[in-house]
Structure 1
C-alpha cells in the first residue's frame, strides 16, 4: 500500500506541508520582530508608510509580525510605493544588502506558500466535486 494512495491524499499532504511552511515563516518573522525590528525600522525611519504604521508596535507579537512583513513587502516591490511618495528611495537603496535579500526572499516565500495553499485547496475541492 502506498503512503499516498489518491490525488486527494497528495493534496492533503501538500496542504499540511504548506501549513508547516507558513508557521515556520511566521516564526522567522516573529524572531526578526523581536531581535531585529529596531534595526529594520532604523533604516526606514523617514518612510511615510512606516511612520504611519508604528501603531502596530503596540499590538504585541502580531504587530511585530505585521511590521516585518510590511517592510519585507516594501523592499520586494518598492517602485510603485516610491512613485506614490510613500517610501523614500534613498533609504531603500541604503538598506543593508544581506538583510534586504533575506527579507525580500522571505516575502516571496510567503507569497509562494499562499499560492500553494490556494492551489491545494482548489484541487481538493475540484476532486471532491468531480469524484
Structure 2
C-alpha cells in the first residue's frame, strides 16, 4: 500500500496537531500546578475566578477548569468587567509575564483546535 503525497501531508499535519495539543495540555497542567496560588492571590477580588477556586483541590481536571476560568478572565477581560465578574485593580496587578503565557496558551489551543476541526472537515467531506 502506498501513500499519495496529499495523504502524507494530511498525516503529518494531523500528527503534529495532535502532538501539539498534548504538549499544550502538559504546559497547562504545569501552570495549573505551579502557578495557581500566585494567580488566585492576584485575582482575589474577581468573583468569576473565586467561585471556581475550590476546584483547585479537584485533581488535574479541577485545576484545568480553574485555569480555564483564569485564562478567560485574563484573555477577554471586557466580558467579565461588564458584568462585574472581574476587578480592574486585580487585572492591572496581574503579573505581565504570566498574563502573556496564559494568552499565548489560550490562542495556541484555539489555533490547534481549529486545525483539528479543519482536518475533520476534510475527512468528513472526503476532500482528498
State the TM-score, normalized to the length of structure 2.
Answer: 0.89
Task: Determine the structure 1 residue equivalent to 2:54.
Answer: 55
Structure with the greater relative contact order (CA < 8 A, sep ≥ 6): 1 or 2?
1
Task: Determine the structure 1 residue equivalent to 2:96.
Answer: 97
Q: Distance in 1 between matches of 2:49 and 2:79?
A: 15
Task: Determine the structure 2 residue equivalent to 1:76.
Answer: 75
Q: Distance in 2 between matches of 1:36 and 1:97?
A: 13
1:10 offset after TM fit, Å? 2.4
**Deviation readout 1:75-113 (Å, 9 max, x if unpaired):** 111101100111111111111111111111111101111
Task: Determine the structure 1 residue equivalent to 2:112.
Answer: 113
Task: Give the ranges of 4+ consecutive aligned residues of structure 1 lying more than 6 Å apart after TM superposition.
Answer: none
State the TM-score, normalized to the length of structure 1.
Answer: 0.87
Q: Distance in 2 between matches of 1:39 and 1:101?
A: 15
Q: 1:126 and 1:6, CA in 2 relative to 1: closer, same or farther beyond 3 A?
A: farther
1:55 offset after TM fit, Å? 2.9
Q: CA RMSD in A?
A: 1.8
How many residues matched? Answer: 127
